[in-house]
Amino acid sequence: MSGQINAFEMAQKQFDGVAKQLKLDPGVAEVLRWPMREFSFRIPVRLDDGSLRVFQGFRVQHNDARGPNKGGIRFAANETMDTVRALATWMTWKCAVADIPLGGGKGGIIVDPSTLTVNEKEEMCRGWVRAMWKNIGPRNDVPAPDIGTTPQMMGWMMDEYSRLVGQYTPGVFTGKPLGGGGSLGRTEATGYGVIYTVREAMKHLNIDGKNSVAAIQGFGNVSQYAAAGFVEMLGGQVACVSCWDRHEKKAFTYSKKGGVDPRFLLTIVDEYGTIDKAKAQDAGYTVEDGDAWITKEANVLIPAAMEGQVTADTVNKMSKNIKIVAEGANGPCTPEADEYFKKNNIFNIPDFLCNAGGVTTSYFEQVQNDMNFYWSKDEVLGRLDEKMTSAFNSVVDRSEKEKVYMRDAAYMVAIDRVVQAMHLRGWLTGNS
């Protein structure tokens, strides 16, 4: 499904609709609907067998009016420049709606990291930095992990940058390992942030979390902690999770009578989000086709895998009892799916609000790096909860005030903040 959808066209379509509602000046809209800078480069890597292979790398910096660009680096076989453009654009809105002083960036390499050895992955990470080091830094662009990348990779990248600039610079990358400049709470941050917004949505809609059931797509970092948080914080049940099986090259849905146990599944999943199918079946889990997750009986749907998963074709397969769609992934629901949600009075928590916990805690990590003083896990997650709750309330308030859909309200909040920053910096006066 995701291969048939151009994520950047979807991001621009979403923006254009809200720009019209805001009566945004056409010139200002043109500035914001395209990235400010784009980088495309080749990374030569010497493989362990002695051969030399060249990989395609990207970095897009969408808008830095509110602060340094911020955004992950994705290692994926299906990576494209348009996907990176879309993700960088959404990062601008994500940072703005969360009200953190950063802009939007995103990067990647076209590669399946599971096919590489540890040495090859390290060389690729260092090669990406060698290609980009003059255009990143704590004060202009701060990358982080995304799909296919890990805290260890961020540690290698930070080390390479520090070597090139000649000083220890932990704040250039976030999502680093603990003990190597990383922050407590960062691992859980995105998934827990999803649950903080779900909790607030349930309060808003007067839904009891203890009587709620979630169907979750994905079992990477976001899904893992969203699933755990749904059970442990809200007292609800998780009907299923899905995952991409890197061995069989297809997706599967895992369910169990009485609900899945996220903490158990965390013990049998690898670093790429693939659940050990045999161990799951031995523990009584039912394994179905990858698309089965969306059909499960639930009242909360959490697509937390890839973009373009809830579409005009798949949305009709959803349980009729779904009341909340919480977008843990970036761009998981198409505009056609949005129309279905509006028609059926389904409350949507848009991606750049719902999954802003990761970038918010990355910002906290960078602050700690600058101070050279590190907070406790409870401090980090407490600050995250405050930020996510405040962001959710600002979007709900705008939605009710303007009588608009939640995604449109989130865009309105974010666009207003970015445009204000551009005005305050003189970018739109002709004197910049």
Q: How far apart are CA 235 and CA 69, in angstroms?
A: 37
Backbone region of residue 365 per phi and psi (left: phi > 0; alpha: psi in -120 to 50; beta: other values): alpha
For the chain, helix (H) and strand (E) counts, in that order, are: 14, 12
User: Which of 13, 23, 94, 106 is the catalytic position?
Assistant: 106
Tokens 């962001």 belong to 391
Map tokens 């680093």 to a residue. Answer: 176
Instruction: State the Cα–Cα distance between residues 425 and 432, nearest whole angstrom.
Output: 8
d(CA 353, CA 212): 21
DSSP string, 374-398: ---HHHHHHHHHHHHHHHHHHHHHH
Active-site residue, 342 included:
no
Q: Which of 291, 406, 413, 412 is nearest to 346 (CA)?
A: 406
Residue from 194, 256, 259, 257 nearest 220 by CA = 194
The whole-angstrom separation of Cα 329 and Cα 352 is 9
Closest CA to 307 of 99, 149, 80: 80
Q: How many CB atoms lie within 10 A of CB 52?
A: 8
Backbone angles phi, psi at 237, to 5 degrees: -120, 145
Q: Dig out the tokens for 154 from the structure.
A: 């961020």
Contact 376, 230 (CB under 8 A): no
| Backbone CA torsion sign across 128, 351, 328, 172 | positive
| Residues labelled as active-site residues | 106
